[in-house]
Structures are given as C-alpha cells and as structure tokens.
Amino acid sequence: MYRSAGRRLIAAVLTVAAVTAGATACSSGAGGGSTKSADSGTYTVWDPYPQFDKDSAWAKLLDDCGSKAGVKIKRTAFDTGDLTNKVLLAAQQDNSADVLVVDNPVVSTLAEAGVLTTTDDNKLDTSKVNRNLLAAGQAGGKTYGTPIGANTLALYYNKAVLREAGVDVSSVKDWASLTAALAKVKAAGKKGVTFSAIGTEEGSFQFLPWFWGSGAELTALDSDQAVSAVSLWKNWLDKGYAPNSVINNTQTTSWQEFAGGNYAFAENGTWQLANAEKTGFEYGVIPVPASSGGAAAAPTGGEFVTVPVQGDTGRYATSQKLVACLSDGQNLLVTDTALSYVAPTTEVQGAQVTADAKLKPWVDAVQAAKGRTSDDLGTKYPKISEQLWKAVQSALSGSASPKDALHSAQSAVK
C-alpha cells in the first residue's frame, strides 16, 4: 500500500522538497550516493551530517548501535539540500535506506509521498518525547519517526552595550519594552538589533517567532496580528533600530554583525553558542518575547530519525532497534551536545542544563517552540512560507505596506 501510493506521489513532491529543505543550523558538504547492501547483515543509514567523518562520535555511535543490533552499518552522509531528492528517487526504485535522518520540515513531504513508515508500523516508542517537538513529524494524525534533537531561535544580547545604554534586560518582556530598549541603545550611540529577513526559508524561519508571537496563524497570513508583526520589523528599520542589511542577511551574516560588538541584540540559534564564546564580550540569551508578554513560539530546527518503507518488511525489526539505540537517553545526550541541539525529552534536557547552565534559556525556548509544519500544514507549508518571506521583503523594502504585502501573500496561497 505504501509503495504504490508513494510512486504516484513522489514525482509531485520533488519540487516541494527543494523548498522545504532546512534553513537552520543544517550542515553542508559533499555527500555521495549509497544503496542498501544485498547482505541482510548490513543496514544502511543516510544522514545530513557530512561534517562528521568515520572517526567522529556520531559515526562511532552508529557502529555501536549496529553492533548491539547484530548488524553492520553502511552510512552515507548527504548535504541537507540534496538528501530529500535522493530519498524520493531511492523510494521509486525500492532501494531506500533502512534508517533515515532528515530535517524535520521534510518529514511531512516524505510521509505524503508514502516513503516513511509510521510509529504504529515500526513500533518506535515516542512516549518520552516533548509533544511540541514530536508534532513536527506528524501528519494526518500519524507520527513518522522521532526527533534526535532540536534547535530554535532566541535573542542573544551584549551585556556591555545594554549596560552603557542603561537597559536592564529583565525589563524586556514584550514588544513595547523591547522597542523601548532599542530606542535607548540608539540614543547611546550603539546599534539595536540584527536578524535575517532574507528572501528564503531562512527569512521565514527568523520571522516566525514574531509572527506567532503576535497571535497570527499560518492559515491567515493577512490577519491584523500578522500585520502587526511585519509592522514591528518595518518600524525598527524606519527608526534605525535595525539595519537595512537585514533584508539580505543570512543568519550567518547577521551573526557576524552582532559579533562585531556594537549591537545590543541578535536573533539567532543554539548553533551559534560556540561562536558566542569567541566574541570576546559578555553575552546573555532571552527568549523572543511575544507581543503582549511571555515567550513567543519559535520554530524548531533539527532532524528526525525515521524508518523508510521497505519492500522487505522483515527489516523493520532491526531498523527499530537501531532507532531506539540512537534515541536512547544517554546517546541523545552525547549526540545533542555534539550538534549543539537541545534534547527532545525533558529528562535529557535536565541533564544538559546540569552539565551547562548556559543552556537553560535554550531549553525554555525549545519547550515553547513549534514545528513549521505543525497544525497539520504538512506539504502546504513551503508555499505558505514562500509567500510569507516575499511579503516581509516587500514591506521592509518599502515596495508595499505590511497590510498590502500580506494580503497579496494570502491571495497567492489560496
């Protein structure tokens, strides 16, 4: 059933896959193709971590899990942008990997194509996984895999810049207090906030905390709440609280601006923690505030470990053992530390904070986070996201008002 349905749908989602490929701390690098060995004692694993070679802790963990399951592991690492299409093409040929690690917004694309088994089929235990993180791998009331970890967005701040401007960071609780803080920073001769509003998925990813923090929903891009979120960013540019460079900034170039030492705030993710320690100045982290207070829901990045559909269903039992091993609490702790991810379970999150207290605000942010394809958006998300980043670009560049830009976006989605 999965196979026949998948072959009809795979071609239709190949284009969608290219749009959905992750925008967060996803790895890059060359990866070669690989097919499943005819030897039933060898199991294939595909992942998006080409930065990890055969001597890395990740590769050794895969080998160890294979040994515990009584099989050998044949691993292939792909660039994140290439992996989805490789998976879809392999599924057409009944040549899928036994275990697939894939960026979380792609899960719904592969699920709709009939490429992945559900946790009911493969018997994966997801009972300890935080519900908001698991939702990124759910579609049509079914769950496809389990998260290996998560990253998300928050606001880094430069303690010295805020001190010079007379800003107590504890006063920043909502949009009004954040904007007031930015005004003080500018008056003190420093720079306010930098972020990425580039016209790609990366831009949508960075805008979503403000969009969701306004109370807006992705099914209604032109709501009053959504307009208020775009207007917030536009107001910051108009008043000089944020630089015009945000229109073209990636998350990397935005971070480089903050690392220069003159900005009070930067919206960025857990993957910058190591770089934050190298800046030479004291920094802190607070959640992105919602419009009326509290932490806004930020989008989750990170990967799911999944079990693709196989013509030989007898392979599932061993695949399940491999995934169970990879998602074991102690193994998650090691893996997520290496990836700068927050673990997907409360128990391991607690162990991470015990080991490094600086992770506490990130754990809080992940616990409030939300999957981009949640709310059962699934493969609708890429089209919505594209129109959202286009609307933000139009408004920030001044080519359309926030209201008109979002109205055009909603019309295009319909």
Whether residue 317 lies inside any domain: the answer is yes
Name the residue type at position 361: P
Residue 33 sits in a domain whose CATH number is: 3.40.190.10
pLDDT, residue 168, reads 98
DSSP letters along 275-291, please? HHTTSSS-EEEEPPBPT
Does residue 210 sit in the same domain as residue 269? yes
Whether residue 158 sits in one domain with residue 145: no
pLDDT of the residue at 29: 33
| pLDDT value at residue 12 | 36
Whether residue 397 is found in the same domain as residue 256? yes
373 falls within a domain: no
- The pLDDT profile of the chain, 414 residues, written as one tens digit per residue, is 322 333 333 333 343 343 444 343 333 333 334 444 445 799 999 999 998 999 999 999 999 999 999 999 999 999 877 898 999 999 999 999 999 999 999 999 999 999 999 999 999 999 999 999 999 999 889 999 999 999 999 999 999 999 999 999 999 999 999 999 999 999 999 999 999 999 999 999 999 999 999 999 999 999 999 999 999 999 999 999 999 999 999 999 999 999 999 999 999 999 999 899 999 999 999 999 999 999 999 999 999 999 999 999 999 999 999 999 999 999 999 889 888 899 999 999 999 999 999 999 999 999 999 999 988 888 899 999 999 999 999 999 999 999 999 999 999 998
Position 372 in a domain: no
In a domain, 65, yes or no: yes
Q: Which residue has the tokens 């972020």?
A: 195
User: Are residue 55 and residue 145 in the same domain, yes or no?
Assistant: yes
How far is residue 64's CA from residue 77's CA, in Å, rounded to a whole number?
17
Is the backbone of residue 80 left (phi > 0), alpha (psi -120 to 50) or beta?
alpha
What SS3 state is found at 96? Answer: coil
Q: Are 146 and 58 part of one and the same domain? A: yes
In a domain, 219, yes or no: yes
Residues 347 and 397 in one domain: no
Tell me if 102 is assigned to some domain: yes
Domain check: are 184 and 284 in the same one?
yes
Closest CA to 287 of 329, 342, 334: 342
* Number of structural domains found in the chain: 2
Q: Is residue 255 part of a domain?
A: yes
Asked if the structure places residue 11 within a domain, the reply is yes
42 and 172 both lie in a single domain: no
Backbone φ and ψ of 160, nearest 5° = -65, -40
Could you list the residue range(s) of the whole structural domain that residue 122 is in?
2-150+302-367
